[in-house]
Chain A
Amino acid sequence: MSFFSKSPWILHYDGSSCNGCDIEVLACLTPFYDLERFGIVNTGNPKHADILLITGSVNERNIEIVQNLYRQMPDPKVVVAVGACACSGGIFARAYNIQGGVDKVVPVDVYVPGCAARPESIIDGVVQGIAALEQKRKKTA
């Protein structure tokens, strides 16, 4: 029996987001959406996390940070890119310091579109992330 679908813990990292998506991520924790009813906890610690939620694109300065966070997470782990910027770089894609979407530096499992992504679609993305988590666990087990 797998417990991953019942207790996915999230690590939220803000790449170079305009904070629109970050506010929507936080909105998921408020009484209206209440992510905790699914057992989802917003941890601040990559070593406790199962799902890495990244908002905003990756820039020259935070490539290593994103990769470091990813490496610090124990297996199985899943990356969810939240918002247009995290998916492709968004309107910042051609800025001189922007690398592009999150998938340029770490493997992304779920893309959540939107500018900003709505809480409903973020929750949907996390739920799909859980399915990916289960698949990865089966592979490693």
Chain B
Amino acid sequence: MTLAIYALLFVVVAPVFGGLLTGADRIVTARMQSRVGPPILQPFYDVGKLFQKQSRLLNPIQEPLLLGHVVMMAATGAMLVSGTDLILVTFVFALASLLLVLAAGSAYSPYSFAGAERELIVLLAAEPFFILMMAAICKVTNASSYQDVLASPTWVAPQLPGILIAFLMVATIKLRKSPFDISTSHHAHQELVSGLTSDMSGRLLAYVELAHWYESALLCAFTVLLFNWSIPLGIAAFLVAYGGEVLVDNATSRIKWQLVLRSTWVATLLFAGGNVLALFVVGR
């Protein structure tokens, strides 16, 4: 019963958290560029407007796929906090991201298709890390659910410094920040860079934004998993990391997809893989 309440709580609170985070992000970004920036509730205004605007459906499956994207993203978080197996959560997370690729790929526009391909590459870059991270957390704590990891007496982060470093890199991809924002970006909208959403109008675009809020909250929940001895510390660590991401976003320029794939895989293999390997060597 309590677990169901946790799940429901995530579904309700996560978009509020994600929306406010995006609003704060836009203000901080503006201040970094010596601008005033929009009000903190701006992302909610944007999504509200998109729901009021006419939606042009290009084919019968575009909307179900995007709705599925939001629902699966919310479900991933709900499953995570209600104690589902962590590895299973990772796979559902991948499925949720894949639905967005399918939705973009279902459109006829070449930009949309290029965006879908780029998103697929980004997915390919990020996904191995999440599986490795969950496996490492399970190994360290001898637990496989969110509650058990939080209840574990073992402190996760001090044992997984490599995972922490690689997490920062993969979070850059998942939060759609430069230099890894090759499939879609929050600013400087262009055909290729925003290719993923180029054929989504009205509420279809609102679904994408909503799903992104869920995704941000999910990343925060993952961070809490790493700082399992104190939930406030985990959230604080996520916010600090997010601030760093905004700074990196403003200070770097976008790189080519080959470099995104290579650098992320090398970081995953070197830091996360090395960390896991060291655990097995030391643990023996």
Contacts and interface: CB of A to CB of B under 8 A. Distances in A.
A9 to B, nearest CB: 8
A20 interface: no
Given A36-B30, A47-B201, A2 B190 contact: no
A70 B105 CA distance: 24
A96 interface: no
Contact of A4 (B37, B49, B197, B200): B49
Interface string B199-216: 111100100000000000
A104 interface: no
Contact of B53 (A39, A41, A45, A74): A74
B52 interface: yes
A10 to B, nearest CB: 11
Nearest to A8: B49
Contact of A3 (B39, B49, B194): B49
Contacts of B45: 3, 6-7, 39
A137 B26 CA distance: 27
A138 B52 CA distance: 11
B35 A7 contact: no
Interface residues of A, number: 24
Q: Chain B contact residues (Cβ within 8 angstroms of A): what range?
A: 20 to 34
Contacts of B205: 48
Interface string A1-40: 1111011000000000000000000000001001011110
A34 B30 contact: yes
A137 B194 contact: no
B189 A42 contact: yes
Interface of B: 26, 30, 33-39, 42, 45-46, 48-49, 52-56, 189-191, 194, 197-202, 205
29 contacts: A1-B48, A3-B46, A3-B49, A4-B49, A6-B45, A31-B33, A31-B34, A31-B35, A34-B30, A34-B36, A37-B38, A39-B38, A39-B39, A39-B45, A39-B46, A44-B189, A44-B191, A44-B194, A45-B191, A45-B197, A47-B198, A47-B200, A48-B205, A50-B53, A74-B53, A74-B54, A74-B56, A74-B202, A75-B53
In the A-B complex, the 8 residue pairs with the smallest Cβ-Cβ separation, listed nearest first, are: A3-B49, A3-B48, A74-B54, A6-B45, A47-B201, A34-B35, A7-B49, A75-B54
